């Protein structure tokens, strides 16, 4: 197998090692009533009194780096993909965000056979209570059936207010994906082997073992192996052998059980790690050039939360209006800030923001004409590149970025280019000036 780049499976923590035979035969992660001790809502989403239905279309849009190094959209036909969808499934999830900023997943669905033209999805919700939820789509870029934090993500730009009985359509999302990749070079290999031990009631589904780094990023090098467990007592077991290029060094060995049956390792599945004593993390392991055996993986392990992708981060800051700026009196004059998908060139129609921007925020001029600045906060996918711009539609004609119009780029670059990373970022100052 060739050497592949590191793609992140952003895990909130890592746990794991122990002799698989040390588990009490009467304790398979279940309490005396037969229900699980831990909160199992992440397996298949919430269940409650509020039922609703979401729908829309997910479109996978290819891009490449132009001669100037900036992102440029490319058609499927003109790409290295040669008009053929060449990636894995599209994973779609709905989740809540609590006051601490933590995500609680509600529901998931997949597009099993995506097309280049875009595909409709339907996501039924069964929630404990009405309220705001967030929605995103992720593409299994490497086709390894693992949804990691560095797999390309597209999010619906705003929170969605959901009440019992709601049917909400038109929740369209675009996922920007690098055009098709080539194969990597060869390498000398070594192997890691052992058993995956599922310690809760098993009802079918495969397991995957993979490597992540100390920050939970992975799969490292695309090194992973899928297997089908055999029921043992109230749980299940599966032997595994993972092959990697030698010389990886320290890594964390983790496992996932596809408990929701969508043939992906995703945030709503059950996750665990390498162990030597039950419920005790024994990571890291050191991978050199020699094979390693008896590295068993427990699923689930303690309060290990499982894979946690970063569907969006928030960019916030201030738009500053110069003293010399006049707003004019045009009806419909509006100030915008937008996280663009690529560097804008020429006039941009406000009506196209839905296609060319991840998210926007706007202010009617009549509401801010006495202000010298306004604060903004917009959501955008994590682990990607956005172009942060502010525009003043002074004439109210629905067009921005034209000559003699006020605009500004954020992020310290003339292009407004910002890597979003995995955490919210603040302090962006956009100084409006006339575009010449």
Boundary residue ending a domain (148, 178, 208): 178
Q: Is residue 326 part of a domain?
A: yes
Containing structural domain, residue 231: 17-25+184-299
Q: Is residue 3 part of a domain?
A: no
- The number of residues making up the chain comes to 436
Boundary residue ending a domain (246, 273, 299): 299
Nearest CA to 302 among 36, 33, 84, 34? 36
Q: Is residue 9 part of a domain?
A: no
How many CB atoms sit inside 10 A of residue 300's CB? 28
User: What residues are paired with 429 via a beta bridge?
Assistant: 318
Model-level pTM? 0.81
Q: Is residue 304 part of a domain?
A: no
Phi, psi of 366 (to 5 degrees): -60, -25
> Is there a single domain that holds both residue 227 and residue 349?
no
pLDDT for residue 29? 34
Q: Give the C-alpha separation, 123 to 361, whole Å.
A: 27
- Are the C-beta atoms of 257 and 270 separated by less than 8 Å? yes
Q: Residue 349: which CATH number?
A: 2.60.40
Q: Is residue 32 part of a domain?
A: no
> Is there a single domain that holds both residue 141 and residue 247?
no
Q: Give the C-alpha separation, 196 to 212, whole Å.
A: 17
pLDDT for residue 65? 83
- Are the C-beta atoms of 175 and 137 separated by less than 8 Å? yes
Q: Give the C-alpha separation, 60 to 337, whole Å.
A: 24
Nearest CA to 358 among 333, 384, 327, 392? 384
Q: Give the C-alpha separation, 372 to 366, whole Å.
A: 13
Nearest CA to 358 among 333, 335, 337, 332? 337
CA distances, 280 to each of 193, 207, 297 (Å) = 19, 20, 11
The total domain count for the chain is: 3
> Is there a single domain that holds both residue 335 and residue 378?
yes
Pairing of strands 373-380, 230-232: unpaired
Nearest CA to 154 among 349, 416, 425, 354? 354
Q: Give the C-alpha separation, 80 to 73, whole Å.
A: 13
> Is there a single domain that holds both residue 265 and residue 339?
no
> Is there a single domain that holds both residue 331 and residue 290?
no
How many CB atoms sit inside 10 A of residue 165's CB? 10
Q: Half-sphere exposure of 237 toward its Cβ, with a 13 Å CA cutoff?
A: 11
Boundary residue ending a domain (178, 199, 220): 178
pLDDT for residue 129? 92
> Is there a single domain that holds both residue 218 and residue 325?
no
> Is there a single domain that holds both residue 194 and residue 160?
no
> Is there a single domain that holds both residue 292 and residue 321?
no
pLDDT for residue 232? 93
pLDDT for residue 110? 97
> Is there a single domain that holds both residue 174 and residue 188?
no
pLDDT, averaged per 10 consecutive residues of the chain (436 residues), comes to 32 32 37 32 63 97 83 92 95 91 90 97 95 95 87 89 97 93 79 97 96 81 93 95 94 94 94 93 94 96 64 91 68 89 87 88 88 92 91 89 87 85 90 81
H/E element holding 41? helix 41-44
Q: Give the C-alpha separation, 51 to 165, whole Å.
A: 6
pLDDT for residue 207? 98
Q: Give the C-alpha separation, 178 to 94, whole Å.
A: 24
Pairing of strands 17-18, 276-276: parallel
Burial class of residue 3 in the structure, from the number of CB atoms within 10 Å of its CB (0-12 exposed, 13-18 middle, 19+ buried): middle
Q: Is residue 1 part of a domain?
A: no
Q: Is residue 111 part of a domain?
A: yes
Strands (E), 158-284: 160-162, 167-168, 173-178, 189-198, 207-212, 224-227, 230-232, 235-245, 249-257, 270-274, 276
> Is there a single domain that holds both residue 320 and residue 429?
yes
Q: Dihedral of the CA atoms 60, 176, 340, 311 (nearest 10)?
A: 100
> Is there a single domain that holds both residue 289 and residue 410?
no
Q: Is residue 34 part of a domain?
A: no
> Is there a single domain that holds both residue 354 and residue 276?
no
């Amino acid at each position: 197998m060739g050497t592949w780049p590191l793609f992140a499976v952003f895990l909130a923590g890592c746990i794991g090692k122990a002799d698989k035979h040390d588990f009490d035969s009467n304790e398979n992660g279940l309490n005396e009533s037969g229900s699980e001790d831990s909160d199992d809502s992440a397996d298949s989403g919430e269940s409650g009194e509020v039922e609703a239905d979401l729908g829309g279309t997910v479109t996978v849009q290819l891009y490449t780096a132009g001669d100037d190094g900036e992102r440029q959209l490319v058609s499927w036909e003109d790409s290295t993909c040669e008009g053929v969808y060449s990636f894995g499934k599209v994973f779609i999830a709905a989740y809540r965000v609590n006051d601490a900023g933590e995500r609680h997943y509600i529901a998931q669905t997949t597009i099993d056979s995506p097309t280049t033209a875009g595909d409709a999805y339907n996501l039924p919700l069964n929630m404990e209570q009405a309220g705001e939820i967030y929605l995103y789509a992720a593409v299994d870029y490497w086709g390894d059936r693992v949804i990691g934090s560095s797999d390309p993500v597209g999010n619906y730009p705003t929170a969605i207010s959901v009440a019992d009985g709601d049917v909400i359509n038109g929740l369209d999302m675009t996922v920007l994906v690098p055009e098709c990749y080539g194969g990597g070079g060869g390498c000398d290999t070594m192997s890691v082997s052992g058993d995956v031990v599922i310690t809760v009631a098993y009802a079918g589904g495969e397991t995957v073992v993979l490597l992540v780094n100390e920050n939970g990023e992975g799969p490292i090098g695309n090194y992973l192996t899928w297997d089908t467990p055999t029921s043992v007592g109230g749980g299940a077991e599966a032997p595994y052998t993972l092959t990697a290029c030698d010389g990886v060094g320290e890594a964390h060995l983790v496992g996932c059980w596809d408990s929701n049956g969508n043939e992906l390792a995703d945030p709503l599945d059950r996750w665990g790690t390498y162990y030597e004593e039950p419920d005790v993390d024994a990571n890291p392991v050191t991978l050199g050039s020699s094979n390693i055996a008896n590295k068993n993986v427990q699923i689930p392990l303690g309060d290990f939360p499982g894979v946690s992708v970063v569907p969006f981060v928030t960019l916030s800051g201030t738009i500053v209006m110069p003293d010399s700026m006049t707003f004019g009196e045009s009806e419909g004059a509006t100030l915008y800030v937008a996280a663009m998908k690529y560097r804008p060139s020429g006039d941009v129609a406000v009506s196209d923001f839905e296609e060319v921007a991840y998210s926007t925020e706007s202010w009617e001029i009549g509401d801010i004409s006495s202000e010298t600045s306004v604060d903004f906060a917009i959501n955008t996918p994590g682990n990607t590149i956005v172009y942060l711009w502010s525009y003043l539609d002074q004439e109210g004609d629905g067009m921005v970025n034209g000559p003699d119009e006020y605009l500004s780029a954020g992020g310290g670059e003339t292009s407004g280019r910002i890597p979003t990373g995995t955490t919210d970022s603040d302090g962006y100052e956009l100084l409006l000036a006339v575009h010449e």
